[in-house]
Structure 1
Amino acid sequence: MILHRSLLVVTLSLAGLAALPLSAQERVIGLEARQDLGLTVYQNGLTQVDEVRWLPLVEGENRISLTGISNQLVLDSVTLGAADDLALVSQSYLPANLTRSELLKQAVGQRVLLIRDNPETGESEQLDAELLSMADGMPVLDLGDRIEIEPAGRIALISLPRDVPGGLRAEPALTLTLDSQRKGSGELPLTYLTDGLGWQASYVARLSEEDRLSLVASVTLNNQTDVAFQDAGLRLVAGEVARTQMPRPAMLRASPSMVADSSEEQKMGAPVSRTDRYVYTLDGTVSLQPGEQQQRRLFALQDIEADRLYRFDGLATAGGGQPDRPVSAGLHLAFDNNGDNAQPLPAGTIRVYDRSGEKGEAALFAGEARMDHTPEGGEVTLRLGEAFDVSAIARQTDFERLSDESFEAVHKIVMKNARTAEVEVEVTGSMPPGARILEESAESEAEAAGRPVWTLEVPAEGETTLTYRVRVEQ
């Protein structure tokens, strides 16, 4: 008969667990003792956690076990608030060990029970066994007359292990050894850094027929730690901070997380410049569950003057290699971050919706692009895709070899506009070192070394031709 393997479980005695102290004079301080919580969240997945807990102290050495601490904390970043009569001697992060796998590891070499259900009668039978091994997480049992590897059924412990270093813990804990010059209850201000909690900005831009832009900024918070942060004050830092790779505590296997998406408007104070970065402070508090993604609206900017740009990047060259078929212009949207309501724009993705269609039509998604950090007064240019009604074709019309190391070439670029309105088009070049433009039908400007730019008007349902002669001396 084939036995269907069932998931092994560990039966625990709550009375036995309560009788096991964590360690001598160690006190567990849970989230119920938290007085205050603040999160300063960076865009690279790093967060500074500032919290205050109420705890009892004895004069001299105190061992405090704090639960509800992120499993991704940077251990050597733990610091205490300024206090002349309280010093941090040492700290350690201990994972939860009151788990199936950890308890079975501690029970290796001990007598256990293997419980099986008879599928025909529904009755359970208990078999005495010795747990020989938990290598690779696989139970190996000695049942007296045979050895079973990963047997079907449930394994029950007859008693809880009592010689576990540090005691049994149902939750991970940050254990602090404190040296106190006073006794009695008081506040413990604590700061630490943690990975796994970050934010990203995103924007929705709506472009009107008159090329006026409205911009709504949102932030998406992402909690990939295993703890909840309840009723926390929130600061968002725009800008990267330098980091070195530091070892973190051993992490537990992630349990299935609760993922939630929500969007909530949050009033935000004006960003403040600090240490070459901008800090946004949100009014009220935020609560984040493990695995939760939460979106909040940050601010909205209205009536921004924008320009639609048509651009052919790298179409003008010194030699051959131009396409012999029409190429579409890249559609760009540009605007200046200035005006009375301007403020620093954190890096993020902008999604643009075009409302320039027929009256009553829904706005059309026009594309999305990544925007870098943009200060007040900065310029933003977004490439949204291709404009099929503005095209160009480039051809080399003449070539003369001057020497083994130099030549001259003549090129022609014809741009066509199928729109019913005139458009302005930019044509950028990609020239090698030693290239020099000798003649051109329209004046160019140097965007960078080897990158001339021509700006031309193309009439409605018409075309414009650009010609230039270039000499290359290698």
Structure 2
Amino acid sequence: MVSEEASSVSITIYRAPGRGDGAINVNWPQGYALITETRTVHLPAGDATVRFEGVSEGMFPESAMVTGLPQGVREKNRDARLLSPQGLVDAYLKREVSITRADKATGVSRTQDVFITAGPDGGVIFESDEGFEALRCTGLPERMTFSEIPAGLSAKPTLSILTTSPQAVTAKLTLTYLASGFDWQADYIATVKQREVQEKPKMDLFAWLTVANGGNQSFANANMMVVAGEPNRERRTDQVRPTGGALIIRCWPMQRTHQVPYNPGYISAPPPPPAYAPMMYEDEGAEIMVTATRRSEKMMDMASPVAVVVAEQEDLGDLKLYRVPERVMVNAKGQKQVAMIVKPDVTFERVYVANAGNYNESSAAISYVLRSKNDAENGLGVPLPAGRVAVFENSFAGPLLAGEGALPDRALNNEIEVEVGRSSDVRLSVVSTRQSRRKQSWRAVVTNARDHPVTFEMEIPHIISGLVRGVEVIDGVPTWRVTVPANDEAKLSYAIKLR
């Protein structure tokens, strides 16, 4: 008996292990999911085979559990061969089929029995009365006919079980299994807000929960959750995906080389686009007036996305669980986004950062980061899963993308830092001034061409000789931290130990 679909489904998705802040593999996501389905079946008395159709094609069959059976499961089988043109040819390899095609001489269709000798990868070769031929390589219509559907081919990925029931019964079963081909990530949008000079800089932080399903099965009306963190999972071999799909037909040229027509159009440049037609006016002598409206001096604020449904965060041991409060459709070969985090008015600090080892006497632009602390005082105070961050700044032309950075997993009270880009207004040069056997002297000069002070930090990846005013050890690295006045510069002289 066949259970064609689930009456309800729940999907819990885990991120790809070790992916970090990289993008999701859209062809076949490298994460996994725990899927729980509820199905109702009618069992006869005695032995019965139950086929669960429409399971995820990335199912790990060894993880499948079925509850609700009168006497449990005696045997499980994963049916990985799908009903498709490729699957049919593969199943009929070394067997006889019928082929209908037009006669080369008369053009009349005729049907004959042929023997498939090779395929489906790399083309289909069959043996007929005329000898060995390749399918669909004559240029004439051809159609293959199969006498029956081979055993073991199913239209959907299927899990079958063997069970026994003492009497006929209608059972409500729960099927739970792990499946590959899923993944998720957080995608942040940080919108820097306008402020007065005396005000602290603020931004609106919004995060999308992006879920990817790389399989060919959709899950309708699903209760969806994702898990943040790094659960331990042993590495295993790649899961065998169901076979199936379209036939790959390969043919060879029917002429000799000198008979293949030469088409220079494949290698010549495309013709230039036609010139625009001149603008026509009713009165050639009419005076043309051009007017303009001066843009307001006030910057245009970017409106943050409006969240209608927001995922709810829960604790799952030492991990974090995000539950979508409404049932959703998880489409095959698709991605879905649901609001995950909405935090307006997050205070932050803009810091220009550099590593002294990456600079020389030539003045060079410096990277800048947006830095904050994940606590309620700064407008946050929620766990932040790893993801990409798009930073928007407001301008007279409206909101513009300032840069993109990455945010690793951040727990409560952790420091948050997103590198946005490089500034051409704040520059650094580091020059060696003197060297002896035991130490080397350096001078660093940072310039600020902006009309307001900036905060600058420079890491010195060496052992400092003596005490240097303005240099402190941060996370084990000597760091120069200074506020550079508007349209001014700051200098630091220091020495490092060579031995």
Q: Same fold (TM over 0.5)?
A: yes
Q: Against the structure 1 CA distance between its residues 35 and 459, is the aligned structure 2 distance closer, same or farther, given a 3 Å change threshold?
A: same
Q: Against the structure 1 CA distance between its residues 463 and 293, is the aligned structure 2 distance closer, same or farther, given a 3 Å change threshold?
A: same
Shift of the alpha carbon at 1:134?
2.5
One of 335, 343, 350 as aligned partner of 2:389: 350
One of 209, 221, 230 as aligned partner of 2:220: 230
Counterpart residue number, 1:446: 473
Q: Which moves more between the two structures, 52-61 or 300-309? A: 52-61
Q: Against the structure 1 CA distance between its residues 364 and 189, is the aligned structure 2 distance closer, same or farther, given a 3 Å change threshold?
A: same
TM-score (norm 2): 0.77
Shift of the alpha carbon at 1:333?
0.4
How big is the alpha-carbon RMSD for the aligned residues of Structure 1 and Structure 2? Answer: 2.6
Conserved 8 A contact 2:90-2:120:
no
Query: Is 2:9 the partner of 1:30?
Result: no
Counterpart residue number, 1:49: 35
Separation in 2 of the partners of 1:290 and 1:141? Answer: 35
Conserved 8 A contact 2:3-2:50:
yes
Number of residues of Structure 1 aligned to a counterpart in Structure 2 = 416
Counterpart residue number, 1:417: 448
Counterpart residue number, 1:65: 51
Separation in 2 of the partners of 1:158 and 1:378? Answer: 64
Q: Against the structure 1 CA distance between its residues 444 and 145, is the aligned structure 2 distance closer, same or farther, given a 3 Å change threshold?
A: closer
Q: Letter of the 1:28 partner, please give it.
A: V
Q: Letter of the 1:381 partner, please give it.
A: E
Counterpart residue number, 1:280: 322
Q: Letter of the 1:455 partner, please give it.
A: R
One of 70, 79, 88 as aligned partner of 2:65: 79
What does the per-residue CA deviation read over 1:99-136, in whole Å, with 9 as the maximum and x for residues that have no partner? 33333344455554332236998x64214233141245
What percent of counterpart residues are identical? 21
After superposition, residues 199-278 of structure 1 pair within 5 angstroms as 199-210=184-195, 211-243=201-233, 244-246=235-237, 248-253=239-244, 265=307, 267-268=309-310, 270-278=312-320
Q: Letter of the 1:363 partner, please give it.
A: P
Separation in 2 of the partners of 1:454 and 1:61? Answer: 77
Counterpart residue number, 2:375: 338
User: Where is the strand percentage greater, Structure 1 or Structure 2?
Assistant: 1
Q: Against the structure 1 CA distance between its residues 97 and 267, is the aligned structure 2 distance closer, same or farther, given a 3 Å change threshold?
A: closer
What does the per-residue CA deviation read over 1:48-85, in whole Å, with 9 as the maximum and x for residues that have no partner? 1011000012344321111111111111110123x583
Separation in 1 of the partners of 2:431 and 2:2? Answer: 78
**Per the alignment, in what secondary structure is the counterpart of residue 61 of structure 2?**
strand
What does the per-residue CA deviation read over 1:411-466, in whole Å, with 9 as the maximum and x for residues that have no partner? 111111101111121111111xxx342242x23221244x2001112111111111
TM-score (norm 1): 0.81
Q: Against the structure 1 CA distance between its residues 255 and 325, is the aligned structure 2 distance closer, same or farther, given a 3 Å change threshold?
A: farther
Conserved 8 A contact 2:367-2:420:
yes
**Per the alignment, in what secondary structure is the counterpart of residue 64 of structure 2?**
strand
Q: Letter of the 2:338 partner, please give it.
A: R
Q: Letter of the 1:462 partner, please give it.
A: D
Q: Letter of the 1:422 partner, please give it.
A: P
**Per the alignment, in what secondary structure is the counterpart of residue 460 of structure 2?**
strand
What does the per-residue CA deviation read over 1:13-53, in whole Å, with 9 as the maximum and x for residues that have no partner? xxxxxxxxxxxxxx11101xx22111111122211101100
Separation in 1 of the partners of 2:403 and 2:53? Answer: 46
After superposition, residues 395-434 of structure 1 pair within 5 angstroms as 395-401=431-437, 407-431=438-462
Separation in 2 of the partners of 1:97 and 1:46? Answer: 22
Query: Is 2:356 the partner of 1:329?
Result: no
Q: Against the structure 1 CA distance between its residues 267 and 462, is the aligned structure 2 distance closer, same or farther, given a 3 Å change threshold?
A: same
Separation in 1 of the partners of 2:459 and 2:204? Answer: 29
Give 5+ residue unaligned stretches, structure 1. 1-26, 257-262, 402-406
Query: Is 2:178 the partner of 1:193?
Result: yes
Q: Against the structure 1 CA distance between its residues 337 and 436, is the aligned structure 2 distance closer, same or farther, given a 3 Å change threshold?
A: closer
What does the per-residue CA deviation read over 1:138-169, in whole Å, with 9 as the maximum and x for residues that have no partner? 433333243323353424336226xx444x42
Query: Is 2:341 the partner of 1:299?
Result: yes
Query: Is 2:11 the partner of 1:39?
Result: yes
**Any runs of at least 4 consecutive aligned residues in structure 1 with deviations exceeding 6 A, and if so which?**
118-121
Shift of the alpha carbon at 1:396?
1.3
Q: Against the structure 1 CA distance between its residues 140 and 416, is the aligned structure 2 distance closer, same or farther, given a 3 Å change threshold?
A: closer
